[in-house]
């Protein structure tokens, strides 16, 4: 049974989805423009195996409070650190992240006294494919996007088409509810402009905020879908090479969000971590 409730971490009120169980608690962090709902099927799988887990809306997304001025990475780092410290108060947590969430998970594992047992980094965006990077670095200001005369009826279908290909390894298998959830965050020009503004802030910070591999104090399982159309598999191979004790897992036919394409495989990797790390 998945329980939904409100919580506050580092001053940000948010929504979280929880399943009860035993073993090292699992923290699930979603990607950019996503929400805790992306982990629904993984949570169900973990619950079926009696494993405790928690997925949250990151600050700025879903039903969480918006980010404030200043560094977005610093705000997310504080949010994740507070979350992991609470979840892992009795037993260090397994932190699982997709895309942006993978970046935050690795950053948490490099921080002092956060209490991370191990990390599963799925499609970590050290770089992105040329088209996506061109969009993020576009010289068109987000404020102009908010004023462009784009027909409202065309914006959502266009976004749905893009999301179907970008999120899933097999676009025809895309869940309409998932597409609607993503498109709902860019349902009008103003919302799209805000997302682009946030993406620009993040892109500027990420270039100067790379984590030093030697500081990562937890075992990292690096996961990538072989049909990821946003982040190339080579990025995960480079992270694996930079972390000598890490494990690399490639998921055939999965796209940028394997929790949507292959939730059973993602849950299996989490459940097997105690064998990999010799803990729990």
Is the pTM higher than 0.85? The answer reads yes
Q: How confident is the model at residue 149 (pLDDT cuts 50, 70, 90)?
A: low
At 7, give phi and psi (nearest 5°). Answer: -150, 170
Does the residue 151 lie in any domain? no
Whether pLDDT at 280 is above 70: no
Q: Which of 43, 54, 45, 52 is nearest to 14 (CA)?
A: 54
Does the residue 250 lie in any domain? yes
Does the residue 87 lie in any domain? yes
User: Residue 173 to residues 167, 233, 251, 252: CA-CA distances in angstroms?
Assistant: 11, 21, 16, 15
- Between CA 273 and CA 268 the distance in angstroms is 9
Does the residue 149 lie in any domain? no
| CATH number for the domain harbouring residue 87 | 3.40.50.1820
Tally of structural domains, the chain: 1
Whether pLDDT at 279 is above 70: no
pLDDT tens digits, residue range 233-250?
A: 999 999 999 998 899 999
Residue 23's Cα: distance from chain center in Å?
22
pLDDT tens digits, residue range 186-223?
A: 767 777 778 878 887 888 787 666 777 778 889 999 99
pLDDT at 144: 45
Residue span of the structural domain in which 20 resides: 3-129+211-277
Does the residue 265 lie in any domain? yes
- Between CA 206 and CA 53 the distance in angstroms is 28
Average per-residue pLDDT for the chain:
86
Report, as an integer, the average pLDDT of 50-72.
95
Report, as an integer, the average pLDDT of 44-59.
97
**Would you state the structure tokens that stand for residue 248, as one six-digit string?**
């690399």
């Amino acid at each position: 049974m998945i329980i939904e409730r409100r919580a506050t971490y580092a001053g940000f009120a948010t929504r979280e989805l929880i399943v009860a169980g035993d073993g090292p608690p699992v923290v699930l962090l979603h990607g950019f423009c996503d929400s805790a709902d992306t982990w629904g099927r993984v949570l169900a799988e973990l619950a079926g195996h009696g494993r405790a887990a928690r997925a949250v809306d990151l600050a700025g997304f879903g039903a969480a409070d918006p980010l404030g001025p200043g560094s977005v990475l610093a705000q997310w780092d504080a949010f994740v650190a507070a979350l992991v410290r609470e979840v892992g108060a009795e037993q260090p947590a397994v932190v699982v992240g997709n895309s942006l969430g993978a970046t935050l998970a690795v950053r948490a594992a490099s921080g002092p006294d956060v209490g991370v047992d191990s990390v599963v980094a799925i499609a970590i965006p050290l770089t992105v494919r040329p088209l996506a990077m061109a969009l993020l670095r576009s010289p068109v200001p987000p404020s102009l996007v908010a004023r462009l005369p784009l027909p409202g009826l065309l914006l959502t279908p266009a976004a749905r088409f893009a999301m179907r290909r970008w999120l899933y390894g097999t676009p025809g298998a895309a869940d309409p509810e998932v597409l609607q959830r993503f498109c709902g965050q860019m349902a009008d020009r103003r919302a799209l402009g805000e997302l682009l503004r946030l993406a620009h802030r993040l892109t500027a910070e990420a270039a100067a905020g790379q984590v030093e591999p030697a500081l990562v104090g937890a075992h990292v399982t690096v996961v990538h879908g072989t049909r990821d159309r946003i982040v190339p598999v080579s990025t995960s191979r480079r992270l694996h090479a930079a972390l000598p004790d890490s494990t690399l897992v490639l998921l055939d036919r999965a796209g940028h969000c394997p929790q949507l394409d292959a939730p059973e495989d993602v849950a299996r990797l989490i459940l097997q971590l105690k064998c990999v790390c010799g803990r729990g």
